């Protein structure tokens, strides 16, 4: 696909639009301590960001039982919500780029590992409750990297998968795009290294969010 052929841009939230990775890692560590589980290192925690929370916890702690999982999720939520009293900031260039994408006629969507309640809270904090054409959260569809989330988004927007572009900072984002037959863009400033992300053959890797608009503006 040429950059000018895309009609729909789909964004992950944490680590792609919002600078929230540090808070997620901290909340996971706190929940581990309060639940009596051995701490996992920062690298391991960053490696599960993008999954739905239950899937993320089970990846870190495969032997956790259902009751322990419920308690762990609550400890995580308690700490993370408290830390988000001042919302995680959007990365530099996000607001301006979004306005430019909208002006250029793109449909815009969010596909996140967050739960719906958490996503609605951060959208409201940035005045974006009604900004996107559609948003999908992990607790109302299948967790990444299953493609259902993207399939629902393209169906809602009435575009084909090859006309959409998934932008994310984790392997789960890029795997999900591949599973949906969709191109992807990797960002280097989020949860996972650009070297790890390039294994999934994104059509573009960017170090700053504003680079995406520059690339899409190329009418080759």
Q: Give the whole-angstrom CA distance, residue 26 versus residue 36.
A: 15
User: Is position 169 annotated as part of the catalytic site?
Assistant: no
Q: Which of 14, 169, 173, 183 is catalytic?
A: 14
User: Is position 63 annotated as part of the catalytic site?
Assistant: no
User: What are the tokens at 32?
Assistant: 């581990």
Q: Which of 5, 12, 78, 139 is catalytic?
A: 12
User: DSSP characters for the chain?
Assistant: --GGG--EEEE-SBTTTB--HHHHHHHHHHHHHHHTPPPPPHHHHHTTBTB-HHHHHHHH-TT--HHHHHHHHHHHHHHHHHHTTSPPPBPTTHHHHHHHHHHTT-EEEEE-SS-HHHHHHHHHHTT-TTTSSEEE-GGGSPPTTSTHHHHHHHHHHT--GGGEEEEESSHHHHHHHHHTT-EEEEETTSSS-HHHHHTT--SEEESSTHHHHHHHT---
Q: Are 128 and 87 in contact (CB under 8 A)?
A: no
Which residue is associated with the tokens 């009418």? 219
User: Which residues are tagged catalytic?
Assistant: 12, 14
């Amino acid at each position: 696909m040429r950059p000018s052929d895309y009609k729909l841009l789909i964004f992950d939230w944490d680590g792609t639009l919002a600078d929230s990775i540090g808070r997620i890692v901290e909340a996971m560590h706190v929940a581990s301590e309060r639940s009596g589980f051995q701490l996992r290192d920062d690298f391991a925690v960053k490696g599960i960001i993008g999954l739905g929370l239950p899937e993320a916890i089970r990846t870190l702690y495969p032997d956790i039982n259902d009751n322990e999982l419920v308690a762990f999720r609550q400890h995580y939520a308690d700490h993370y919500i408290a830390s988000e009293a001042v919302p995680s900031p959007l990365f530099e260039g996000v607001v301006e780029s979004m306005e430019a994408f909208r002006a250029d006629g793109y449909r815009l969507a969010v596909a996140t590992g967050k739960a719906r309640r958490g996503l609605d809270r951060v959208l409201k904090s940035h005045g974006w409750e009604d900004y996107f054409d559609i948003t999908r959260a992990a607790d109302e569809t299948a967790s990444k990297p299953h493609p259902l989330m993207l399939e629902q988004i393209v169906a809602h927007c009435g575009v084909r998968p090859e006309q959409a572009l998934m932008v994310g900072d984790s392997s789960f984002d890029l795997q999900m795009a591949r599973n949906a037959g969709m191109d992807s863009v990797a960002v280097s400033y989020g949860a996972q290294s650009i070297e790890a992300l390039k294994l999934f053959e994104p059509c573009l890797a960017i170090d700053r969010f504003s680079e995406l608009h520059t690339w899409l503006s190329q009418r080759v």
